[in-house]
Structure 1
Amino acid sequence: MLRKSLPWAWALLICVAAFAACDSNEEQTTDGDGDAATEDGDTEGETADGDEDGDADAPPFDDPDAPGPYAVGAINETVAYDDPDVAGRTRELPCTVWYPAQTGGEAFRYDGWLVRDNVYADAEPDAGGAPYPLFAFSHGNSGIAEQSWTLVEYLVAHGFVVISCNHVGNTAGDWDVSTVAQAVHDRPLDVSAAISHALAKSEAADSRLFGLIDEARIAAGGHSLGGYTTLMVCGGSMHFQAYLTECAEDPSLHICDWLTDYDTSMVKDGAVGDPRVKAGVAYAPAGYGFFAADEPNGLEAIAIPMLIVGAERDGTCPMDSEVRPIYEALPGADKRLATLMNAAHMSFTDFCEMVGGSSEYFAEEGCAPGFATPAEAFAAMDRLTLAFLRRHLDGDARYDAYLTPVDQRPEYIAVIEGP
């Protein structure tokens, strides 16, 4: 399924991670874990036509435990936009867009080099289930757009369009500590621009995405600093200046050493939420202090359903100091907290498959023996994400069973909590 040779950018990633902060089968489709569905889309355990109330008009149940019926296509796009806060500053972002597709064709290359034999480059779309919901994903600090391909491919196989962009200046190839504050400013704007780009392409007759996206069903998700990004896109309001004051008083606070010695003038207090986003998923999110440094807690401004997923052994964005406080600050009843047991910060990415425990940081954050395997982590992450999005983008209560608070679902490594 995967062919690889490690380029310079990934070697750099191994070095950067030491400083990381919250940071082929043409007749089969996959569920993201290597399981296959037959070409006609039949899946074991699928419930056809009807919800638990017997509604004959309900769509077929999209079983999170089964492989998705769609093949996965992908294209590269460039998203460009003008920074609303800096006159004359334009950002151009290399992005990948995945979509339900017809099978066959050339294998797609992630980051230009990593060959995925089960993802078809520039494939003919499968419009049979269109329009599809859109999921905008934000990578972690010093990551890349395709860093969590297992999750992305799973969602697309289940009928989503996914867009993920390189946050230029904060990727494996161009990360620098002096520009972390700039990334804090840029990232939410990047995601909103990516959503606008995807919607425009869905209206363009000459695009592979033509007619594929349902503008009423849009969700955002992200890992680590991408989790912070997601919280902002979903309506969070920052108290960044107050956090800088706290950093001056206690430099040991989370990522203060990345902020206090560098230019932070571009980061503004307040909200930059995108009202088109109807639900959010934050994986090992960073940045609690950005929201909590003053009253009211800026996370209280989020008014859409949120799934927060953390890892029991995460030392970068710990459950007790980052993830759980973020969850507890969210208002309302449409929120869930899931803890992946025996997992750590990199368990939310496919980096462990690429580089293993090749650095002390990666080894300590989930890539060494003794942690949950990538298959175990993604089995929980994928299913929880799909169920949450189906519940809140589609309004389908049949998925509540996957989101009910429970000590641990025996088949997954997740503990689920809720109001």
Structure 2
Amino acid sequence: MSNPNPSPVVIIPGYYGTLLVDQVANDQVIWLTLGSMFESGEVLDAINLETGDPDRIVSGGILEEIQIVGNWAPNFYKTLRMFFGSIGFAPENVISFGVDWRRTLSFNVDQLRARIERAGRANIVAHSHGGLVAREYLRKFKDDPKVDSLITLGTPHKGMLVTFEALLQGINFFGWSKSHLMKTARTFPSTFELLPFDRADGFFQWDGNPNADAFTQTAWADASMLGKIADAAGVVAGLPKDLPVKSAFIYGTHRDTRTRAVGSPNKKMKFETHPAGDGTVPTVSASGSGLTGSVERYAIPFGVHSRLFDYSPAQTIMKNILFDRPMAHFAFGFSREMYMTGKPLGVAIDLRAPSGALFPDADVRINVRGQDFPIPHDPASGDYFREIPMPSSPQPLLYKITANASTLSEPFKESGMLVPMNH
């Protein structure tokens, strides 16, 4: 039976997704405003946990938008709050829970517990790093979590490579100094807790070993990082692998993503990019490979990490879970919005039973220009994927997608027009 009155929703944002404020300066926002983007040195020094007064900077509200100029304010989590309002949640039942994303996962779970207890019970919807905070909460309060469901969107359940790169070399971020970013990131326990750890995932190759573990093979790190790596290894090992509540993992696929680090002594680490994630988190990590319990998994083909909760299929999944209305899932996407003549175009489709499981007899295909192309299941991503040849001359192309299975009352169908870039 459906649940017309679900418990309140608690939103836990991802890395960078909570404001950091200076409590000594009347809660002045340090992270992140338009002005702070142009004062990177001051900001990085202020949020550094090993200089000055680290307890002066604390978490504030979630980052809903950044005011750029006039009414132009790019949305972050504002659209997620608005979505829950649009499906019937009263404002007081959409609870934004900001976390200090610099700190260890356990840093905010007692405050999260207090907030959930005030609500009575809750559903947790967590983006990215916030999903790991939620799992740490479930570890500590596993006997009575007071949580009806956990939904994660793009959570690096098994680590990620972007933060690994940030620790070693710095990353591109608003044009800020890579070396300054690297030094600051090394002061955050959370950065180390995002290291890849499962040898079977193949995220890390060290000195010829293709299945290394960043937590145990630590020759890549300098001496100042070893204690933090050991602490982080303990935190990650303690995260529950068998989840005690109904859970759904929503993840993006087929976007170019850092998925492998290759290194050896006395050589600079190389970070490889492959079309196997949401642009930030690898698919195998965000899909929670190996995690058990009452877990459902749903792919958003070509979904972008920062916007996973904005995709209509993801919103449908969230609504169905929160109101306990199991329904079959269908989503599709193309590798480019417009095709390039003479070059193949990728198409990906996800088709799931109401339980989140794959249909054993699914038949997924696309028809382009009257030619039918079956689309095979891709075990690496969990969805269905193939590349379709595009004509050498530019022309609009009608496509028709059909996804069917014997237990569906009727197939899913979508049609539209593919437009060339050089039309």
Query: TM (normalized to structure 2)?
Result: 0.38
TM-score by length of 1: 0.38
- Higher Cα Rg, which structure: 2
